[in-house]
Amino acid sequence: MKCPFCNKKMAAKKDPYHYTESGLDNVFLHTDVYKCDCGETIADIPNIYGLHELIAKALVKKESMLMPKEIKFLRKKMYLKAKELADMLGVTKVTVSRWENGAENIGIANDKLIRFIYAQMFQEKCKEIVEFIDNVREINPTARRKRIIIPKKDIKGAVCYF
Ligand SMILES: [Zn+2]
């Protein structure tokens, strides 16, 4: 792999890739990563839409509450505007914005509803809805947030249903 900026040969790296381009701060990818002396880093992501779907599923399934950036990530993954999500939940657009910038706590009811909306949108596309519903039942407001780690085989086989 050659660096697209300086054209030098890039060295392969072993560490998980901290995928901050997702807009999230705790997503790590187990994929091939190449590093150049000029500072450029490139991660092998064959299907970015499929990968974002894997991340969205990990968010829906996680035990801890959704963090502000995670709420925004899920909303965007559902291709909903803040106003559209607000209308579905019976809150105002301002409330959704405040959840997404951390000014207001989402609360467990709306956290669960957002996950159900996501699962419902996928109902016809995948068979995971029952599993999702079980996961949403398990949300624990006091659970500690964990890293989201996407394994290599999943990144390689990522598909997008939308
Ligand atoms: Zn370079």
In angstroms, the CA 24 to CA 72 distance is: 9
Task: Kindly state whether residue 15 falls inside one of the protein's structural domains.
Answer: yes
135-146 mean pLDDT: 87
139-153 mean pLDDT: 89
- Tens digits of residue pLDDT in 26-78: 999 999 999 999 988 899 898 998 899 899 999 999 999 999 999 999 999 99
pLDDT of amino acid 119:
87
Average pLDDT value over all residues in the chain:
89
Task: Kindly state whether residue 157 falls inside one of the protein's structural domains.
Answer: no
Q: Are residues 87 and 31 in the same domain?
A: no
Query: Nearest 5°: phi and psi at 149?
Result: -115, 120
Q: Which residue has the higher pLDDT, 121 or 159?
A: 121
Task: Kindly state whether residue 112 falls inside one of the protein's structural domains.
Answer: yes
Q: Are residues 137 and 85 in the same domain?
A: yes
Q: Are residues 68 and 134 in the same domain?
A: yes
Task: Kindly state whether residue 114 falls inside one of the protein's structural domains.
Answer: yes
Is it the case that residue 161 has pLDDT exceeding 70?
A: no
Task: Kindly state whether residue 52 falls inside one of the protein's structural domains.
Answer: no
pLDDT of amino acid 125:
64
Instruction: Kindly give the distance from the C-alpha atom of residue 45 to the centroid of ligand 1, in angstroms, as a whole number.
Output: 19
CATH number of the domain that residue 75 is part of: 1.10.260.40
pLDDT of amino acid 124:
62
Instruction: Kindly give the distance from the C-alpha atom of residue 18 to the centroid of ligand 1, in angstroms, as a whole number.
Output: 19
Q: Are residues 37 and 69 in the same domain?
A: no
Instruction: Kindly give the distance from the C-alpha atom of residue 44 to the centroid of ligand 1, in angstroms, as a whole number.
Output: 16
CA distance to 53, 76, 88, 111, 144, per residue, from 84 (Å)? 20, 11, 6, 16, 30
Q: Are residues 95 and 34 in the same domain?
A: no
Task: Kindly state whether residue 150 falls inside one of the protein's structural domains.
Answer: no
Could you please report the per-residue DSSP string of 36-62?
-TTS-EEE--S-HHHHHHHHHHHHHH-
Read off the pTM. Answer: 0.84
Instruction: Kindly give the distance from the C-alpha atom of residue 10 to the centroid of ligand 1, in angstroms, as a whole number.
Output: 7
Domain interval for residue 95? 63-145
In angstroms, the CA 56 to CA 37 distance is: 33
CB 52 within 8 A of CB 161: no
Task: Kindly state whether residue 154 falls inside one of the protein's structural domains.
Answer: no
- Tens digits of residue pLDDT in 84-103: 999 999 999 999 999 999 99
Q: Are residues 116 and 79 in the same domain?
A: yes
Q: Are residues 35 and 78 in the same domain?
A: no
Instruction: Kindly give the distance from the C-alpha atom of residue 41 to the centroid of ligand 1, in angstroms, as a whole number.
Output: 8
In angstroms, the CA 121 to CA 144 distance is: 27
User: Would you place residue 6 in the very low, low, confident or very high pLDDT band (cuts 50, 70, 90)?
Assistant: very high
Q: Are residues 139 and 72 in the same domain?
A: yes
User: Would you place residue 160 in the very low, low, confident or very high pLDDT band (cuts 50, 70, 90)?
Assistant: low
Q: Are residues 67 and 136 in the same domain?
A: yes
Is it the case that residue 123 has pLDDT exceeding 90?
A: no
CB 150 within 8 A of CB 57: no
Task: Kindly state whether residue 86 falls inside one of the protein's structural domains.
Answer: yes
Handedness of CA 73, 78, 79, 82 (dihedral sign): negative
